[in-house]
Chains A and B, each alone.
Chain A
Amino acid sequence: MDVIYLTKSGVWYSFSAMMKEEIAKAKAEALAKIAEADSVKKLEEARVAILGKKGAFTKVQQGMRDVPPAEKPTVGALLHEARGAVDAALEARLLQLQVMEDEKRVAGIDLTLPAATLPMGGLHPISLVREEAVRILRRMGFSLADGPEIEDEWHCFDALNTPEDHPARNEKDTFYFDSGKLLRTQTSTVQARVMESQAPPVRIICPGSAFRRDAIDATHLSAFNQIEGLYVDREVSVGDLKGTLEYFLKALFGDETAVRFRPHFFPFTEPSFEIDVQLRAAGQAPRWIEIAGCGMVNPAVFENIDSKTGKNLYSGCTGFAFGIGLERLAMIRWGIRDIRLLIENDVRFLAQFH
């Protein structure tokens, strides 16, 4: 039952009834305003008009001050319900409007437009194959080694069992300097460099450049990249050589790749082998492709090292060495027909690897 009070003006007045009316009115107006707002911006304006410091609904809320304590619970409950409805309506309308505005925004988007441009970068294909080969070999317990590219004859030839009158040693195929030094013709020089500086066991790889006095054409460069490997220890066998290189080449070319070893000749290994991998291309008969050279370290190499250092570190050791050309690897992997593409650095070529 409503309690009726006499106001100062002498009119009996029911607070409860009056507030109920005002609350209902404010709520209705607020909801109408919310419904009217047809953009997120207008809805925000509506929110300020309703719930801001001077907002219509805020004013009604301020009326609670004058409500006698006895009636506060009733009026308070009413006000709470109304405020809840206004908040809910605001939220619901906001969601609605955001969805509508999103729709408007995306309506104009042409997804078939080309991308904006960023400067594109990437690695050279030789770096890519080098990194991959190095990654596999390091997983197999090889660590990296290095040596100078300007070498002396001893490290490039004599140490590697290629004496002065050897057919492989020819000033026309080698870049010499007036100092008598030369540009190394193979990364195998690093074998000699490492062994003269440390005791066995040795288990190293060396990615690096080598130089031959070849005219540059579609299949030849005068400077090329290789990875050299060397493992020297007690009782290293041909089986170890085979196991190591089979694992390496399968990791590089895929597990299904067949690998074969053909006897060959290199002065610094004996026996020596060339390694072929069998490549399969759709619609073609499988082909054997020569990919690397390897062999058991020639005991003469150990003797040369020991006699140079004066330490008898390598007698009784056995080991294997291998070398693989990175240009060839890249050419096979990506079907590159002309080796010169690898030195011309044409962005139209390089971008294919980005």
Chain B
Amino acid sequence: MAMNRRSFLKRSIFSLSTAIIVFNFPYVAWAEKKKFKTTLTKETTTICPYCGVGCGLIVSTREGKIINIEGDSNHPINEGSLCSKGSALFQVVSNERRLNSVLYRAPGASKWEKKEWTWALEKIAKNIKDTRERTFVKEKDGKIVNRTDGIAQLGGAAHDTEECYLFTKFARALGIYWLDHQARLCHSSTVASLAASFGRGAMTNHYNDLQNSDVIMVMGSNIVEMHPMASKWMMKAREKGAKIISSDPRFTRTSSIADIYTQFRSGTDIAYVGGMINYTIQHDRIQKNYVLNSTNASFIINDKYSFNDGLFAGYNPEKRNYDKTLWKYELDAEGIPKRDNTLQDPRCVFQLMKKHYERYDVETVCNITGVNKEKYLAVCDLFTSTYTEDKSATWCYAMGSTQHTVGVQYIRTYAVLQMLLGNIGIAGGGINALRGESNVQASTDMALLYHILPGYLTAPSPDDVDLKTYIEKYTPKSNDKKSANWWGNYSKYITSLLKAWWGENAQKDTEGGFCYNYLPKKSGLHDHMQIFENMYKGKIEGLIAWGQNPAVGGPNSDKERKALGKLKWLVVAELWETETAQFWKRPGVNSAEINTEVFLLPACSSVEKEGSISNSGRWAQWRYAAIHPGDADWHGDARSDLWIVDALYKGIKKEYQKNAGIFPDPILKLNWNYGTGNEIDVNKEPSAHFVASEINGYFIENGQRKGQVPFFAKLANDGTTACGNWLYCAGYVNWSDVEGKDKTATNYVNNELGEFSNRYAKRIAEKDEPKAQQLIAEGRAPGMNLNWSWCWPVNRRILYNRASVDSEGKPLNPKRWVIRWNPALAEGKGAFEGDIPDGPWAPNDKYPFIMNEEGVGRLFSAKPNEGPFPEHYEPFESPLSKNPLSGQKNNPVIVLFHQGDELNKELNSVGIPADFPIVATTMRLTEHWQAGAMTRNLSWQAELMPDLFVEISEELAIEKDIKNGDKLFVSSARGKISAYALVTKRLEPLSIMDGNTKRIIHQVAIPWHWGYAGIATGDSANILTPHVGDGNTNIPEYKTFLCNIKKA
């Protein structure tokens, strides 16, 4: 019997507000409930602000009060369901702990003072100008740098895309290059790794597509706890016979729904997955045609490449880096990589890879990781069984993979394995990088990161002296006509971005070309840890934190909290008084000794403003404001971050208009008009629609806007188009161009700029579309929902989908296809149908991986800094005396702060196993979210998870005389925390070989959500974690370090 859970009563599809007015039942449970709760309410739709799954909710309001918030039954991702956090969203709005006025803390003061917006904004603007004036650098070593040394900016992953775009534009105009946000700490290694393999840094598939998998591997993620709604689609797959594997240092709620669970030592995943690659090759479980057509397996590598005892060719131990020019393809006379399609040439990628991973035999893997051999072989067999064309496996991962000193190479192992099995570009396949913040996808796309510009353009360095030089350097070239080499369009994207930012001031010959030199130039690393190391040294005097809470979320948080105390001024825009906002009155410090001036600006929650967010499957969805300033439930003076950044920009501009100062042009000539006029007005909210239309881009004719650019292929490099982010071009377009006549559609927008289709607001689920249902009946994979929201690029739901068809465009798996070539379409010229294909060309005209200049996926990739093949190195703090696989213990290219200058060395001690014999890993919980402010301020969530605890095994508990519920101390070389002990069989000691010695290694797991603010308080686990990062993006190694425990 097919029972749809929503169909028990037909009326359940009706909205909550259309219910009968008076609740008429004779038995009334309790007195106040005489009226149905949501009768006569207004409904607005919204998207959950917690994790990156992107669930829909309905907000019911009556007379300016929020009455109820629950799941949106029409939403195709969550179908009305929510997790405990989403279910508690009501308490984010209805909460007396929310900020309702601007708070100011004078240097040395012990209390906040309430202030007016106008006062605070003027003072902040003066501070920013003052610091910029004193620390702005125009030239360094004879080259233009145009940057502000003394100001840093953090945050954005929880904000709307339009806000993120203005943050990035604002920061760049001020010359800020100490620019970073949550994405550095959570998935920066993902972007570096996936882009190095496939050409794009994003999750390849999307949440609803999990239903199409035959095998779901969860390693490096606790998907059930961190992305609960993903489980809905995993369960649907399981009902169709799919198998789930959970590999994790501890048995989690994810493991509880898995068919196979393996426990292993944290920090050894490359050995684990390297062994799976070896298993695949040794058992000939390779999808041969896929590997030949869609990867570089057959490419011949230049004979300068080598690998010996843990090091690749070209290592420079002084500089701790590689000469990557030694890792190159051999080219033929036409400059095209040579191939051996028999895969027998000893210098071809396949043979080199085979040799590399032969060392990862089962015994070696088990000795390093501590995994149970029998279970490990079962995992290898099950996962690699999907190498046939009719099977798919997906790899789901998150922080368990990314947050390691070899994070990029963890993810590279998944890429190599999935390509060998033919699992990229297909339904139910891919590598699903699960994002933990609701809009960290778009905050990354919008480049709130020092090293990129919107759309993953490279942030310029001093050597990139003008636009022409810059374009020449960063535009990849290919001599192979079958390679689409999409990045060949680079010049159009950067030029259109500069036009969006400096408008008519940006002309062909101005300031390096289209005002190119207005962009601050980066020199070296300016990431999160570098920001705090330099703040600690007093080099950074001002910090703007948009909703980021580094006092809890930053690694080595004691050092980071102390670094905050060296700032002259700090601006925090927040919903709550977070640990970062009140660092100057944290336990154990004397406020009088902290001279930082602090401004705490009251911001709006996700249901109090309008704008879009992109989930980790790249679906960009529009949210609406349920209440407005002045409404009964409005929090006093709170304003959206869009309003705050708009007002702040205007305040700073005014200061520069009064007195020009140093290099004011990037500020004064900035193209900035979002409908609020020149004056700061607390009653005028900027238009998120104006911002969205600029992000999409518009044509320019004779200096005037002339309609939206319909999609990025129409962008130009001659100044005739402006576009804030080429990836989002096609998301917010002219109504007249494309969308038909129904002006009641949710995506119809009419404002003073014209009539638009806001595709982020599209709400037609696949289940309601007969045409989609017809294709699904013909075998198209379900779940794409092409008319629900919009996703970049050009609404393509499964990336690299050209790899899912053969040379005639026939799906490799006709029972679960993504795209197929239909010769009858396009007036007989033929076209793909199904998902939006990776480019319009006929199947055999172009290679499938269009973002890579060689046109195929990279088993061998010269991009990552540690080498072209992933190699196991021990974590920075390892319980072993040496690396069992080579003489190179740690990643050879990581930055070592403890060997830096004196101030770097301070508070950067390294633990050794003799003092700290236990392996610790940090983790998260369903009930709390990130640094905690969004859940530890909600009484319902605090009730579920009130106190910090540490999970320890029964064996370790006996050894340390600790019982369940006892208080214990955990210490590392950085500090000590106190927590409750949760003694459980879900963790077990592991047997590991250290050289020839067998050793028993204990592991403990500590959630990192807690801090000293909020209603559920506790020590922060990040007091224990080190300042050390990955060799490419400097993502901190939160996930493995050494500790010891003691009964309190």
Task: Please indicate whether A and B come from the same complex rather than being unrelated chains.
Answer: no
Chain A contacts to B: CB under 8 angstroms = none
Chain B contacts to A: CB under 8 angstroms = none
